[in-house]
Structure 1
Amino acid sequence: MSLEFFNLLNLVLRYTPTVPSEKGLVVRFAMIGVGPGRAIDESALAPERNSALQQEVAMLGATMERWKSVSMPRKSSPATCSAHVSS
């Protein structure tokens, strides 16, 4: 995972309305260059900011890997759920 994650997030945010409860988060995201239609130019970032963002992306990647390793319950389909089996 790289800083390109933030550019993909910016693209998605163009098509996702902000709900009132997320306005504070949107302001915080804007401080690091994240927002609808924005772009992060890695070469233009100060070295400290680039390093901080790279660390955040690494932590996000690690979190996503942990999520993948957790066994999540799946919804039963009518064909496999005993409650739906007719006698």
Structure 2
Amino acid sequence: MDRWVSRPYEARTTERDLARRARHRLAVLRHAKEVSGNIAATCRYYGISRQCFYTWRRRYEPVVRHRVQPPSPASKSASAPTPTRCPVSDLR
């Protein structure tokens, strides 16, 4: 039996590894937003590409927004109903 047969990458990834990577990605996003305010500088600091950063931001943005401030319930019903038009003949 060959002990050194490589397993697929997914088989080696544990829940702990996934959680660690997610925490790292969220830390990068928070750094760009709260510390530097500059995405290019944050990417240079962490050694990642801006494309990678924007992919992470697209993936984790709902999580970050939810943790910072949940959306207000009024935002769904904030628009006023459209008034109905009545014909000119009804006004006379």
Shorter-normalised TM range: under 0.3
TM-score normalised according to structure 2 size: 0.25
Higher-RCO chain (CA-CA 8 Å, sequence separation at least 6) = 1
| Higher helix proportion (structure 1 or 2) | 2
Larger radius of gyration: 2
TM-score normalised according to structure 1 size: 0.26
